[in-house]
Amino acid sequence: MFDELYKNKEAIENAFQKKLEWERLDEKRASRIKYTINMGGLKANEESWSQIQEEMIDCMNKFYKAISSYVKNL
């Protein structure tokens, strides 16, 4: 599955509107496609949590839209 998605890396990243980290983990049962949000986290000031959550939700929605058509064709 990872290799098939990777063939469409440029299109997926264009749809996501950000560069993704593509990690093919041959020695593991799964590979990983990720985007790191550098806005803080659990230890960040509680007042920033809602902004961090909004960014996470936005990225999850964009990622879903970026890969969903490719996953359906696998």
Distance CA 38, CA 29 (A): 27
What is the structure's pLDDT at 41? 80
Q: Which residue carries 């659990």 as its tokens? A: 42
pTM recorded for the entire structure: 0.86
Q: Which residue carries 């909004």 as its tokens? A: 54
**Tally of domains in the chain:** 1
- In the structure, what pLDDT confidence band is assigned to residue 45 with cuts at 50, 70 and 90? confident
What is the structure's pLDDT at 36? 95
- In the structure, what pLDDT confidence band is assigned to residue 9 with cuts at 50, 70 and 90? very high
* Alpha helices, DSSP H, located in 1-74: 2-6, 9-16, 49-72
What is the Cβ-side half-sphere exposure of residue 5, based on CA atoms within 13 angstroms? 21
Question: By residue range, what is the domain housing residue 49?
Answer: 2-72
* Closest C-alpha to 22, from 33, 37, 12: 33
Neighbours of 44 (CB within 10 A): 12
